[in-house]
């Protein structure tokens, strides 16, 4: 029922967003593919976005149900799941991807800033992996151009991995060797380890939330508070311009001013592109599962969801390149709390069981 209304609203909000020519927009935000229900009145498209292309040709095939299926897709997904949880992928032998991306915390780690395998501290907060398969630019500053590039960089950078050494170690474990052969007809190496990890990570999605049931027509799926928060989020509070449904991100980069009041601010996308126009710009995080991913922001500076919402609704922090869509929405306490309640309706109802690793 309200699917259509939402789609139109999202289209309007997007239009408002792209009409602003002063703000640098990422190509990702501009080039959203057209899909369902174009609004007949204004010809604009709703904000549906699709999974990034899997170089194995597995795009848009949901392989999660196929764990036992004897197909390359099923084997790559299953292999990626093992690798993601396997500490033998790190130099020390004690850190896996899941050390920082824990399924119970919607694939974050609860730390403000986490420590890498070599003991040094990360400069940015661990983001969720929910919906990263929809991103064509990865990391807070968008510096990785594909999920495959991102996971290989994460593997080497976070876990001090020597791919050659770890590839041979995995090849010496018969169950792994057999799985690599089934998935890639090849022994483990940097490239296929990256592909397998990406196949797994691409399937981490925000779904089956109360909000999805509400969108599907179950008016009782959200509480009164959550519905009030939903209406504020989509309307008066101006959140959906950037946190666009249904993924709750426009995949774009914006300057909300977080951390810009520090003496040496992290310039985010500006530092990556070496272009001051983008200083303080970071990727809009998907708000799917956000109730489980405290603390918040690229520097982990907000301890609670309420604190993060309050700051956003007040227009972020002022600085010379702040995105103009962020305004002080003058919300009262009840309105802020209603938005927090709505964000709780974005929690996926999926259960995930970590794999038993080959020995
Ligand atoms: C020590 C903690 C740590 C470990 C281990 C780790 N990551 Fe991350 N991960 C991070 C941090 C911090 C970032 C954000 C870095 C940035 O944006 O500059 C990140 C970002 C990412 C992103 C990008 C998300 C986005 O929204 O763009 C992906 C994907 C990812 N990691 C996957 C992995 C995989 C796969 C592994 C294992 C090979 C892994 N990570 C291991 C801390 C970790
Ligand atoms: C101009 C685009 C824009 C608007 C409008 C906007 N946000 Fe955001 N939001 C962002 C960006 C970009 C970040 C990441 C900021 C950072 O960490 O530097 C963010 C971060 C957040 C976070 C933290 C998420 C996390 O995983 O760390 C929450 C919660 C949030 N926003 C809620 C809201 C709410 C609620 C509104 C409306 C009142 C809103 N935002 C309006 C762009 C926007």
Ligand 2 center to 213 CA (angstroms): 24
133-150: average pLDDT: 94
Q: Given pLDDT bands bounded at 50, 70 and 90, which one contains residue 151?
A: very high
Q: Which atom of ligand 2 is nearest to the CA of 241?
A: 5
**Residues in the chain, overall count:** 359
Res 172 pLDDT > 60: yes
Lowest-confidence pick of 16-20, 182-186, 258-262: 16-20
Q: Given pLDDT bands bounded at 50, 70 and 90, which one contains residue 219?
A: very high
Contacts by 217-222, CB closer than 8 A, 24 or more apart: 217/1, 217/3, 219/1, 221/345, 222/342, 222/345
Query: How far is residue 190's CA from residue 296's CA, in Å, rounded to a whole number?
Result: 32
pLDDT in tens, 306-347: 999 999 999 999 999 999 999 999 999 999 999 999 999 999
Query: How far is residue 354's CA from residue 281's CA, in Å, rounded to a whole number?
Result: 35
95 lines ligand 1 (CB under 6 A): yes
Q: How many other CB atoms are found less than 10 A from the CB of residue 197? A: 26
Q: Which residues line ligand 2 (CB under 6 A)?
A: 237-239, 241-243, 254, 256, 258, 282, 284-285, 287, 290, 293, 296-298, 305, 308-309, 312-313, 323, 325-326, 339
Pocket probe for ligand 1: among 82, 98, 124, 126, the residue whose CB has the most ligand atoms within 8 Å is 126
With the C-alpha atoms ordered 300, 305, 311, 315, is the resulting torsion angle positive or negative?
positive
Residue 295: is the preceding peptide bond cis (ω within 30°)?
Answer: yes
Of the chain, the percentage scoring pLDDT greater than 90 comes to 75
Lowest-confidence pick of 23-37, 93-107, 303-317: 23-37
pLDDT in tens, 271-301: 999 999 999 999 999 999 999 999 999 999 9
pLDDT of residue 358: 96
pLDDT of residue 56: 62
Residues 173 and 89: beta-carbon distance below 8 Å: no
Query: How far is residue 163's CA from residue 147's CA, in Å, rounded to a whole number?
Result: 17
Q: Given pLDDT bands bounded at 50, 70 and 90, which one contains residue 177?
A: very high
With the C-alpha atoms ordered 125, 127, 128, 129, is the resulting torsion angle positive or negative?
negative
Using alpha carbons only, how large is the chain's radius of gyration in Å?
Answer: 21
Q: Given pLDDT bands bounded at 50, 70 and 90, which one contains residue 211?
A: very high
Q: Which of 100, 342, 60 is nearest to 221 (CA)?
A: 342
Average pLDDT, the chain: 86
Tokens encoding 341: 């309640």
88-94: average pLDDT: 98
pLDDT of residue 33: 30
Q: Given pLDDT bands bounded at 50, 70 and 90, which one contains residue 59?
A: very low
Q: Which residues contact 27 (CB under 8 A, 6 or more apart)?
A: none
Query: How far is residue 122's CA from residue 254's CA, in Å, rounded to a whole number?
Result: 22
88-109: average pLDDT: 98
């Amino acid at each position: 029922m309200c699917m259509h209304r939402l789609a139109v609203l999202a289209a309007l909000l997007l239009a408002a967003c792209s009409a602003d020519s002063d703000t640098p927009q990422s190509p990702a935000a501009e080039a959203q593919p057209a899909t369902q229900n174009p609004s007949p009145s204004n010809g604009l498209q709703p904000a549906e976005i699709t999974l990034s292309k899997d170089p194995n040709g597995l795009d848009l095939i949901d392989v999660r149900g196929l764990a036992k299926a004897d197909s390359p897709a099923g084997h790559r997904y299953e292999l990626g799941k093992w690798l993601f949880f396997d500490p033998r992928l790190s130099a020390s032998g004690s850190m896996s991807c899941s050390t920082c991306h824990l399924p119970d915390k919607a694939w974050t780690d609860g730390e403000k800033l986490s420590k890498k395998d070599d003991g040094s501290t990360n400069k940015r907060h661990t983001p969720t992996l929910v919906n990263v398969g929809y991103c064509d630019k990865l990391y807070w500053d968008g510096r990785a151009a594909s999920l495959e590039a991102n996971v290989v960089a994460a593997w080497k950078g976070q876990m001090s991995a020597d791919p050659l050494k770890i590839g041979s170690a995995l090849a010496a474990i018969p169950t792994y060797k057999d799985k690599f052969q089934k998935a890639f007809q090849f022994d483990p190496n940097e490239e296929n380890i990256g592909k397998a990890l990406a196949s797994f990570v691409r399937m981490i999605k925000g779904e089956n939330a109360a909000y999805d049931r509400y969108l599907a027509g179950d008016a009782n799926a959200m509480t009164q508070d959550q519905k009030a928060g939903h209406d504020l989020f989509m309307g008066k509070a101006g959140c959906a311009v950037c946190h666009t449904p249904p993924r709750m991100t426009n995949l774009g980069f914006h300057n909300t001013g977080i951390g810009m009041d520090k003496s040496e601010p992290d310039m985010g996308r500006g530092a990556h592109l070496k272009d001051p126009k983008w200083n303080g710009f970071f990727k809009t995080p998907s708000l799917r599962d956000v109730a489980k991913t405290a603390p918040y922001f690229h520097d982990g500076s907000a301890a609670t969801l309420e604190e993060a919402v309050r700051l956003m609704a007040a227009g972020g922090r002022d600085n010379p390149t702040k995105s103009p869509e962020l305004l002080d929405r003058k919300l009262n306490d009840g309105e802020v709390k209603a938005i927090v309640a709505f964000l709780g309706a974005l929690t996926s109802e999926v259960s995930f069981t970590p794999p038993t690793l080959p020995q």
